Structure 1
Amino acid sequence: MVEKLKILFLCTGNSCRSQMAEGWARHLKSDTIQAFSAGLEAHGLNPNAVKVMQEEEVDITQQKSQCVEEVETIPFDIVVTVCGHADENCPVFSCATTIVITDLTILPN
C-alpha cells in the first residue's frame, strides 16, 4: 500500500482559507492525500467558510481550528502557506518538507 502524501495548509488563524483548502483536498483527493490545516493561532472555524463549502457540497464542519504546534510532530511532505503572514512567520519543520508559498489574499473577490 502506498503511503498518502501528507499536506499541511497553513494560515494565520486557521479559520477560513486553510480550512477550505483542507476541505477541498480531502474532498478531491482523499485517496492519495492526507490533508491537515493549522494556523499560527487558532481563531475557530469561520461560519462563512462552512457555508460556502456547503454550497459546493463539501462538509468541513468536523474540522477544528488548531495551532501549528498541535501538528508539528507530523512528518509533512508539503506545507502550503495560504497567506503572506503565514509565509513570513512559517515555523521550521523538523522533517524534510517542501514549503509552497501561495498568498491567496491577493486574489480578486
Structure 2
Amino acid sequence: MGQKPKVAFICVHNSCRSQIAEALGKYLASDVFESYSAGTETVPQINQDAVRLIKQLYGIDMEQTQYSKLLNELPPVDIVITMGCNVACPYLPCKHREDWGLDDPTGKSDKAFLEIIQSIKEKIDNLRNRIEHNALL
C-alpha cells in the first residue's frame, strides 16, 4: 500500500466533535490513516469539556497537539467525514465522503460527551477496518 489515506473530520466550528475525532483517529488508527480536522469557522480554543474528558480517558492533551483551523489549512484529503452539522457542510474534493450524524454535546453534561466520545471511537474503529480492507477507496 502506498501512502496512507488522509481523512478530514469536519464540523462548523472545529471545536468539539471533529477535534475528538482527530485525536482518536491519531490515537487508534495512525497506522492506517492520517487524521485532520477543520471547520468553516474557528474558535479561540477547543471545547474545554472535550479537552478534559479526552485527557481523562486517553491521556491525550488535545490543546498540545491540535487547534481550531479552517478548511483551507488542510492538505488535499482522500476521505471527508462530516460530524453531522445541521448547516450545509462545505465541499472539499475527496474520493469518499460520509456523514456521521453526531449531535453536538457542547454545553451538555459529561454523560452526553462520553456518549459522543464512545460513538466516535466506534466509528473510527469501523473506518479503520473499512480502509484496511480497501472497502472505501
Would the TM-score normalized by the shorter structure come out above 0.5? yes
Give yes or no for contact 1:27–1:58 (8 Å, CA) kept in 2: no
Q: In terms of mean alpha carbon deviation, does 26-35 or 51-60 score higher?
A: 51-60
Structure 2 residue identity aligned to 1:93:
L
Report the Cα offset of residue 106 of structure 1.
7.8
- Which entry has the higher C-alpha Rg, 1 or 2? 2
Quote the Cα distance in structure 2 between the aligned partners of 1:55 and 1:20: 13
Q: Which has the higher strand share?
A: 1
Give the unaligned 5+ runs of structure 1.
none
TM-score, scaled relative to structure 1: 0.83
Q: Which has the higher helix share?
A: 2
Aligned to 1:63: 66
CA RMSD of aligned residues (A): 2.1
Report the Cα offset of residue 58 of structure 1.
4.2
Give the unaligned 5+ runs of structure 2.
106-110, 113-137
Which ranges of 4 or more aligned residues in structure 1 deviate by more than 6 Å? none
Structure 2 residue identity aligned to 1:99:
R
TM-score, scaled relative to structure 2: 0.67
Report the Cα offset of residue 11 of structure 1.
0.5
Aligned to 1:92: 91
Identity of aligned residues (%): 33
Aligned to 1:21: 21
